[in-house]
Structure 1
Amino acid sequence: MKRISFQYIILLPLLVLVNGCGKSFLDLAPISNSNESNFYKTVEDFDLAVNAAYASLYIFYGPASGVSYFSEQMSDNATLYNVAGIQSDRWAFKDYNLKPSNTEVYRFWQECYKAIFNVNIVLDRITGAELNEEFKTSVIAQMRFLRALYYFNMVQMWGDLPLVTKPLTAEESYSVLRSPEAAIYQLIEEDLQYAATNLPLPTDLSVPGKASKYAALSLLGKVYLTTNKKAEAAEALLQVYGKYNLVAPYTALWGANVKNTAESIFEIQYQGGSPTLPFSKYWREYAPTENFVLTLYGGGMNQVTDNLYEEFEVGDVRREQTVSLGYTNKEGTFIPIKFQNKWVDKEAPAPSGEELSNNNFMVLRYADVLLMLAEATDDPRYLNEVRTRVNLPLYGSNEYPSNQYGTLALAIEHERRVELALEFHRFFDLKRTKRAMEVVGKTKPIKNENQTVLPIPQIVIQQNPAITQNTAYQGL
């Protein structure tokens, strides 16, 4: 029997793809009567394939995705109580009790490499296509941005990875072992440098949700910060500075119908109201499981910790916008349980028994860029721009809570936590600043730095014993 490799070998034309002929990747349409040999020929074919690669974002950044679990559940921001599915495998993230046999870790691995495959097959086929060079360059730039985005998350989640840059057969995949992190980051940087050079300005995008030059530069700045290249990070981020605006007030950033604001740099597009379109699931997944009032179905994901709630300063409007303190049940009793308040869609229709919500998800926004600039340049003025929006005392003033955040580094850490709470940043931030053990260890049982990466799934090593396991999970 032929074994299955770590990368799904999927023929793209046989998938349900996205209609890209003058439409966004929201408009899903099945492809029929096509095969691999005759599909990758026309502009229309590649529009479909490109949109399919973008559609991977719905799973990659979904509310119950690997990025969500890693960035929030493994941090001090979020916890779990009752959740659907195999509870022990989900609780293992907050309890730092992960094992290679964890079914969720394997699901995340599969989803990540499916996303990589959807990108790589487009890059592989576009090279030899007899199409306009400007169009080909545009396709390549978009796909290299997505590949960099996916690998950037993956390398932080697992460390060394099988580095796949083209479609592989099952047999070929056995020769692809884990590449060192440095090689992964080199590919990420090269992809983003190409993307930043060749992607259009936001004003020239054909549809919302596609990658722009500034999206590539913003992500490149974050990559440089992660690899301790602060000068290069500042150079990239300064090219984005001033090209966007902070939306005021902060509460105006959120709402089921708030989309692609002046602050949004790269945003995943959802369209609620129909089960045939990619509706948003953050509202229902982040509602408590037992509520039966707020939503028809509550996923119980990323319930807010007291520690996060207490991080907000008195008078910070972001606290109420970020955290709901509880809900009133059908009997009229208030249930005190903290959960998110950023992705709320109480008017969402639910004809199939689940809310078909409309909320978009911002992967990159301008406040993130400003706080990264403060980190890259050691200049608090960028931090203070973020605080000015919410009318809080500026860093360096007498009123600033310097007794709690006495250095610029701690002030940035605090500001990133409250500004970007539950937006899939926290554990990545703490890893980047080498603070994960010290900070998370105050509220969760993390034992050592080796637990700041996930295990390689057991089934992956069983399929190819030449692939090594991360240190914390050897022998488990």
Structure 2
Amino acid sequence: MKAKNIVQIIIAAVCTLAFSCKKSFLDLSPISNANANNFYKTKADFENAIHAAYATLYVIYDPEEAVSYGEIRSDNATLYAVAGTQADKWAIRDHTETPSNTMVYQYWRDYYKALFNINNVLEKIDVAGLDEAYTNSVKAEMLFLRGLYYYNMVQLWGEVPIVTKVVSAEESYKILRSPVADVYAQIVSDLKFAVDHLPQADAVPAPGRASKGAAETVLGKVYLSMGDKTNAAAVLMDVYNSQQYELLPDYSSLWGPTVKNTKESIFEIQFIGGSASTPYSPYWTAFAPVTNGVITAYGGGINQVTDDLYNEYETGDPRRDASIDTGYTNASGDFVAIKFPKKWEDRGAPTSGTQELSRNNFMVLRYADVLLLLTEATGDPQYMNQVRARAGLALYGTAGYPSATYPTLDAALEHERRVELALEFHRYFDLMRTGRAVAVLTAKGKLVTQDRLLFPIPQYVITQNPAITQNEGY
């Protein structure tokens, strides 16, 4: 008998997602023991469903998920010995994935599981009979998430099936990969609705909920990825002029287990930590060196920092020491030299088994990113120079700037994004967006060709529905 197809696999696996997350996204009561057909009636019902949809961020931005395409595929990070499916993780690092890579298949499943949750809320809110303002606000939050996820997916796989409703098994066989232009059109449509109906940051219902500025920031990146600098500049300038965000005076003050939802944060995943029964941040454990046994109970060994990134920082740039640790002292008192991320450090976190119950939030979007994107969109270095001024470095265009190393604005901006946003899962997408991935990564010894920039479509997906095509190069 033919096995489940692409979307049926997703639906079967997602049915328990809204009921089994590490509590709900903001530690509110999750949906439980409710018949979905009878559940979605009141605003309280929808608030629970909204939190369950936001909880998918815990999966999509899990260290082993986001990092595998945001940093490890780039020149910023590497892997040594790690737990789990080492060969598949190394293949992602080295751009030698095959369609049978289990990690790539897991990413595919996780995205479509998340989309099922989101689409379910969208369908239910349209027929719930609640007031128009509330209905539009719910739709806007869900469309923000859907736009963000599809933007990630089109960067990872190129053409992907566009699923915008809950579908039956029979229907799902007819949903094939859509051209990249169509995927972008769907993303733009979703994000424009979100921009029109989301509140400004100072009026969101609770920390961690999407704002107009968050939707505009993602939309700006989407336009840049489409080569549309005019629209990108317009939407990013709206964020800039909103007076909702500002750079913190000190870069190091962005990081720490108690630093949450600052004026620089545009969209932030919320972690409570301190207890195994509340959402706790996984990054500190995952990014600590393997079995260090001193700074963490257990180290995941993911996202270990390359010398190439460490050496990218200019002399005196305080962002290097705020971002990267150079090693640790073991139980014997010996210093072990190894570079690893420092931004999500929580050395005082209680432990549960091998996991630090860390409290650090994770910023998906922050204002420095917007400023750098504005320079990319407009060609005006004044926005990038605000970021450099915060770091206490010579401004682009002045006598003290290292123009011999970064002689053009494009080169300067590539450098600035790399060091300002280091290890925050931006680097690979940046290189893809600017068309620099092959040139930069091959120069660093990675086996990258134009056909290997995207992930393969998982073989299991094609086996279940042979009408799904494979990416070139696989």
Q: TM-score, normalised by structure 1?
A: 0.96
Structure 1 residue 13, shift from structure 2 partner: 7.6
Structure 1 residue 199, shift from structure 2 partner: 0.3
**1:36 corresponds to which residue?**
36
**Cα distance per residue 1:183-215 (max 9 Å; x no partner):** 000011111111101101111111000000111
- 2:108 counterpart of 1:109: yes
Whole-angstrom distance in 2 between the partners of 1:37 and 1:146: 23
Q: Contact 2:288–2:340 at 8 Å: present in 1 too?
A: yes
The residue type equivalent to 2:171 in the other structure is E
The residue type equivalent to 1:257 in the other structure is T
Spell out the pairing of 1:127-206 with structure 2 (5 A cutoff): 127-206=126-205
Structure 1 residue 47, shift from structure 2 partner: 0.8
**1:340 corresponds to which residue?**
341
Q: Contact 1:19–1:51 at 8 Å: present in 2 too?
A: no
**1:427 corresponds to which residue?**
428
Give secondary structure in 2 for the equivalent of 1:456. Answer: coil
Structure 1 residue 16, shift from structure 2 partner: 1.4
Unaligned runs of 5+ in 2: none
| Higher deviation after alignment, 369-378 or 239-248 | 239-248
Give secondary structure in 2 for the equivalent of 1:91. Answer: helix
Q: Contact 2:257–2:360 at 8 Å: present in 1 too?
A: yes
Q: Contact 2:30–2:48 at 8 Å: present in 1 too?
A: no
- 2:459 counterpart of 1:458: yes
The residue type equivalent to 1:45 in the other structure is D
The residue type equivalent to 2:19 in the other structure is V
The residue type equivalent to 1:56 in the other structure is T
Structure 1 residue 68, shift from structure 2 partner: 1.6
Superposition RMSD on alpha carbons, in Å? 1.5
Give secondary structure in 1 for the equivalent of 2:468. Answer: coil
**Cα distance per residue 1:238-287 (max 9 Å; x no partner):** 00114211012100000011000010000000110111111000000000
The residue type equivalent to 1:179 in the other structure is S
Spell out the pairing of 1:54-453 with structure 2 (5 A cutoff): 54-65=54-65, 67-242=66-241, 243=243, 244-453=245-454
Whole-angstrom distance in 1 between the partners of 2:15 and 2:42: 15
Structure 1 residue 31, shift from structure 2 partner: 3.7
Structure 1 residue 353, shift from structure 2 partner: 3.4
Q: Contact 1:17–1:29 at 8 Å: present in 2 too?
A: no
Structure 1 residue 352, shift from structure 2 partner: 3.3
Whole-angstrom distance in 2 between the partners of 1:86 and 1:63: 14
Give secondary structure in 2 for the equivalent of 1:441. Answer: helix
Whole-angstrom distance in 2 between the partners of 1:54 and 1:176: 25
Give secondary structure in 2 for the equivalent of 1:46. Answer: helix
Whole-angstrom distance in 2 between the partners of 1:304 and 1:124: 43
Structure 1 residue 135, shift from structure 2 partner: 0.8
Give secondary structure in 2 for the equivalent of 1:9. Answer: helix
Unaligned runs of 5+ in 1: none
Whole-angstrom distance in 2 between the partners of 1:46 and 1:128: 12
Q: Aligned pair count? A: 469
Residues 218 and 127 of structure 1, relative CA distance in 2, 3 Å threshold? same
Q: Percent identity?
A: 55
Q: Contact 1:19–1:48 at 8 Å: present in 2 too?
A: no
Give secondary structure in 1 for the equivalent of 2:112. Answer: helix
Structure 1 residue 33, shift from structure 2 partner: 3.7
Whole-angstrom distance in 2 between the partners of 1:79 and 1:110: 24
Q: Contact 1:123–1:140 at 8 Å: present in 2 too?
A: yes
Structure 1 residue 2, shift from structure 2 partner: 5.6
Q: Contact 2:28–2:48 at 8 Å: present in 1 too?
A: no
Give secondary structure in 1 for the equivalent of 2:443. Answer: coil
**2:11 corresponds to which residue?**
9
The residue type equivalent to 2:205 in the other structure is S
Q: TM-score, normalised by structure 2?
A: 0.96
Residues 345 and 19 of structure 1, relative CA distance in 2, 3 Å threshold? closer
Give secondary structure in 2 for the equivalent of 1:240. Answer: helix
| Higher deviation after alignment, 4-13 or 135-144 | 4-13
Residues 14 and 341 of structure 1, relative CA distance in 2, 3 Å threshold? closer
